[in-house]
Amino acid sequence: MQAVTWQGKRRMSVESVPDPELQRATDAIIEVTSTAICGSDLHLYEVLGPFMDKGDVVGHEAMGRVVEAGADSGLAVGDRVVVPFTISCGSCWMCERGLYSQCETTQVREHGSGASLFGYSRLYGSVPGGQAEYLRVPHADFGPIRVGDELPDERYLFLSDVLPTAWQAVRYADVAPGESLAVFGLGPVGQMAARIAHFLGATVYAIDPVRERRTMAARHGIQTFDLDDDAIDSIRDATGGRGPDAVVDAVGMEAHGSPVGKFVHQAAGLLPDAVARPMMEHAGLDRLAALHSSIDLVRRGGTVSLSGVYGGMASPMPLLTLFDKQIQIRQGQCNVKAWIDDLLPLVEDPADPLGVDDLVTHRLPLAGAPEAYEMFQQKDDGCIKVVLDPRI
């Protein structure tokens, strides 16, 4: 089959790789009909190379049709399913408590990581990903989400990651109707977090330096600000001088504004893997501009919810400010299946209340993935969300 593979820093390539096969009775094989490039895939493209192996199949947002079903998978050939990016058993101690991203059955203990993820480096199990013609789905007796046949893929595809990640970010922010929320970053997750909060009755402010992203968010009732337009002061003024009740950081380690962090990212990428891995596992190498700005902006006694991915074990935090302002921080890899019952009716609503139909900016064949990664990273051509179709 054809699949998108990692070949080195900023080098993705579509290659022929062996077709996946059933390995356990709870496995299933799906023919991928749609798969997306996620903002966190750019961490593999740029930063996390020391944990990648040449030829790794990437991608963790996928859906399709079951073509092979293990005897204990609970699926049937022909079922249309969305595959959550986290691989969870559904029955361990953590899963029974809804902490599916901490699944004790699939934890990657070698690296002290939580549940295995599709297509996401040694840190998360080196499981072949979904930017491919076919995908083996472990624990298919629990993970896949069956969906109907009436709606197009793009109504359902983002149940794999973007929508539940955004929903969890807003729920963790714990804003009530009539309260205020600020969102840093209007990539796909930030877009949906802003819309979800607006749908749930909050007043939403969003900050992003890219005009096309601000324009998209504004179409959905979001008050937007350029990063350079005194956004912090403007939002604070709009909230009675206190700041918003909560802030979602949907940016993570790729935030601009920290030349030291940028240097460490680049330096780690140039070092031999054996040296770079411990450096990345133990050093403070995140670019923390968005996080520090979130802490600065949120009102005293408010909440900062992190959905952007950070990777430094010793990244400096302003503990005095956090303590003095009595700020709560909530964060974590998304527990996808915990939120599907809330999201599926909204996705299937003909009125499209979350604006899911207005997210994808580029649809390309699988062969266009290398150019799509570069375009997405550089934010060229108004690129906000790319969907790849392996069938064309």
Of 303, 331, 359, the residue that ends a domain is 331
**What total number of domains does the chain contain?**
2
Q: Are residues 309 and 368 in the same domain?
A: no
Other CB atoms within a 10 A radius of the CB of residue 358 amount to 14
Q: Are residues 20 and 155 in the same domain?
A: yes
Output the CA–CA distances (angstroms, integers) from residue 221 to 117, 172, 236, 355, in the order listed. 33, 21, 19, 11
Q: Are residues 149 and 290 in the same domain?
A: no
> Residue 335: its pLDDT value, please?
98
Spatial separation of the C-alpha atoms in residues 88 and 95, rounded to whole Å:
7
Whether 264 has a pLDDT exceeding 50, the answer reads no
Given a contact cutoff of 8 angstroms between Cβ atoms, the answer to whether 372 and 388 are in contact is yes
> Could you tell me the pLDDT band of residue 286, with boundaries at 50, 70 and 90?
low
Spatial separation of the C-alpha atoms in residues 197 and 295, rounded to whole Å:
19
**Please, which residues bridge with residue 225 across strands?**
207
Of 316, 331, 346, the residue that ends a domain is 331
Whether 284 has a pLDDT exceeding 70, the answer reads no
φ/ψ bin of 112: left (φ > 0), alpha (ψ from -120 to 50), beta (otherwise): left
State the residue range of the domain holding 243.
Answer: 163-331
> Residue 48: its pLDDT value, please?
79
Whether 260 has a pLDDT exceeding 50, the answer reads no
Residue 34 is part of a domain; what is its CATH number? 3.90.180.10
Q: Give per-residue pLDDT as tens, 332-378.
A: 999 999 999 999 999 999 999 999 999 999 999 999 999 999 999 99
Q: Are residues 315 and 327 in the same domain?
A: yes
Q: Are residues 358 and 321 in the same domain?
A: no
Average pLDDT of span 37-45:
91
Spatial separation of the C-alpha atoms in residues 45 and 47, rounded to whole Å:
6
Dihedral (CA of 303, 195, 339, 166) sign: negative
Q: Are residues 327 and 342 in the same domain?
A: no
* DSSP per-residue letters across 232-273: HHHHHHHTTTS--SEEEE--TTB-SS-HHHHHHHHHHHHS-H
Please, what is the average pLDDT of the chain?
91
> Alpha carbon 37 to chain centroid distance?
10
> Could you tell me the pLDDT band of residue 311, with boundaries at 50, 70 and 90?
low
Q: Are residues 92 and 237 in the same domain?
A: no
Whether 20 has a pLDDT exceeding 90, the answer reads yes
Dihedral (CA of 257, 308, 192, 125) sign: positive
Q: Are residues 168 and 217 in the same domain?
A: yes
Q: Are residues 302 and 355 in the same domain?
A: no
> Residue 392: its pLDDT value, please?
87
Q: Are residues 348 and 202 in the same domain?
A: no
Dihedral (CA of 13, 14, 19, 25) sign: positive
> Could you tell me the pLDDT band of residue 50, with boundaries at 50, 70 and 90?
confident
Average pLDDT of span 324-330:
97
Q: Are residues 171 and 297 in the same domain?
A: yes
Given a contact cutoff of 8 angstroms between Cβ atoms, the answer to whether 62 and 34 are in contact is yes
Q: Give per-residue pLDDT as tens, 210-235.
A: 999 999 999 999 999 998 879 999 99
> Could you tell me the pLDDT band of residue 272, with boundaries at 50, 70 and 90?
low
Q: Are residues 170 and 318 in the same domain?
A: yes
